[in-house]
Structure 1
């Protein structure tokens, strides 16, 4: 059973001090068929990981990075691992930085995020030199892990003399606090050849602006996501995090392909235009959000989802309907605040 996040006395700014020893971070290679089928490696023991008999250099490799106050036993990691293990066509590595992602958000977790990203970038370059194919490498990160993915991408590009970028970064509702301001550096389209972003809690825990090559705004990208309870605003409670977490539920569903429907989306200038059926160039050109997103697209894309699994509505998701008509949603759905664009 996955471990629940313990919120007691952990406010956004935190009271507990996190350890700053970056070597406590681990890389966990899940090779299946079950969650228990995995090998754990120290962050600097990447040579052993590449030499693991269960690791294949011919497959695509995905590195998943969890967010603040999470670790490898959290629900999101279990859901993501389960989804990828259904495919059997990727090497799945989870970065377990649970102790470093703990404590005071500003002075512990964010600082550790940036420092650990530099270490990972250095180690990834060494792994690429040892035969790991950079063109088959993909980082997926949720919340603070999404911002770490951007830093890793930047660092890999800088450290290899700006000659080669990572091919793809996918950020699932990348963290908003402390990353978007005059003197802040956040995930951007320049951090990889292709950066796709899924927004589900803009302006609260998630990024409020378009920040990737392609940005997806399911249900407008803001709270409340369909099926989420009315927020009680108890910081970091399950209730409060429901919309923020919906991004990794969407991602896992797109990976697992358990259901026949896809997350079709269309390009529009904003949520209001999408609701009115006004698409860019008046074309109903649909693309898929999630794992199978095409990497030759740019701009902002919109769609609606259900409030329960399956979340994807297939073609129906690109035509706006009143939120009360969505499967699994409350008729009192609040569509939130229109996100801004940069």
Structure 2
């Protein structure tokens, strides 16, 4: 059973100090068929990982990075791993940086995120030198992990004398605090050949602006996402995090094939235009898919509606706006979203 997040003494501005030893971070190779079927490697033991009998250099490799106050035993990682284990066409590696993602957000977790991102890029570059194909790498990160994905991408590019980038980074509601509106750099379209972003809690826990090659704004990209309870604005409580977490629920559903529905989205200038059916048609494909199978030749902002319960995807129906009360599993009436524009 996955572990629940414990909030006592783990507040956003809490006093608990995170472990600053970057060597505590580790690779976890999941090969299935169950979550328990995995192998753990220290970051500097990457050669052993590449030689693991369950690791294939001919397959694409997904590296997933969890967020603040999370580790490999948290619900989000279980959901993501279980989704990927339904596939047989790739390697799955989790970057477990749980001890470093703990403590005070400002003085511990964000600093550790930036330092670890640079160190991780060093080892990833060494793996490329050992035969891992950079063209087969896809990094996916949630929240603070989404910002770390950008750091890794930038550093890999620098270490390759700015001649080679990671093909794709996917950020699931990348973290907002301290990354936007400050002197700190944040995830951007320059961090990989293609950067897709899913926004579900913009302006609160998630990035407030378009920050990738393609940005997806399901249900407007803000709180409240359909099916989420009214926020109690208690920092890091389940209610408060519901919309932020919805990004990885969407991603996991897009990875597995349990449901035939897709997250179809269309290009628009903003949420208001999407609601009014005013779409951007510049000769590109009229609708695209959000999530794992997103095409990597698109740019701009894309909008869609989802259900409030699984299956979240509404297929083609999701690109035509309906009143929120008509969405399956939604318990919020239109107008209850305090940040919707």
Normalised by the length of structure 1, the TM-score is 0.97
Deviation at 1:331, TM superposition (A): 4.2
Higher mean C-alpha displacement, 319-328 vs 5-14: 5-14
Pairs within 5 Å for 1:188-337: 188-281=188-281, 285-333=286-334, 334-337=336-339
Note the alpha carbon deviations across 1:282-332, whole angstroms, 9 max, x for none: 878000000000000000000000000000000000000010100000143
The answer to whether the 8 Å contact 2:223/2:340 transfers is no
**Residue deviations 1:27-85 (CA, integer Å, cap 9, x gap):** 00000000010000011110000000110000000000000000000000000000000
Distance 2:173 2:193 in 1: 19
Task: Give the SS at the match of 1:241.
Answer: helix
CA contact (8 A) 1:220 1:335 kept: no
Bigger mean CA deviation after superposition, 282-291 or 107-116: 282-291
Q: Distance in 2 between matches of 1:145 and 1:12?
A: 16
* More divergent stretch after superposition (211-220 vs 178-187): 178-187
Instruction: Specify every segment of 5 or more residues in structure 2 that has no aligned partner in the other structure, as ranges.
Output: none
The corresponding residue for 1:21 is 21
Equivalent residue, structure 2, for 1:62? 62
User: Offset at 1:88?
Assistant: 1.2
Alpha-carbon offset, residue 335 of structure 1: 3.4
Distance apart, 1:338 and its partner CA: 4.3
Aligned residue number for residue 98 of structure 1: 98
Q: What is aligned with 1:126?
A: 126
Task: Count residues in correspondence.
Answer: 339
Partner SS, residue 92 of structure 1: strand
After TM superposition, give the deviation of residue 160 of structure 1 in Å: 1.2
* Alpha-carbon distance in 2 for matches of 1:15, 1:322: 44
Tell me, yes or no, if the aligned pair for 2:30 and 2:81 is still in contact at 8 Å.
Answer: yes
Matched with 1:156 is 156
In structure 1, the partner of 2:117 is 117
Query: Which TM-score applies when normalising by structure 2?
Result: 0.98
Task: State the distance in 1 between where 2:182 and 2:32 align.
Answer: 44
**Which residue in 2 is equivalent to 1:108?**
108
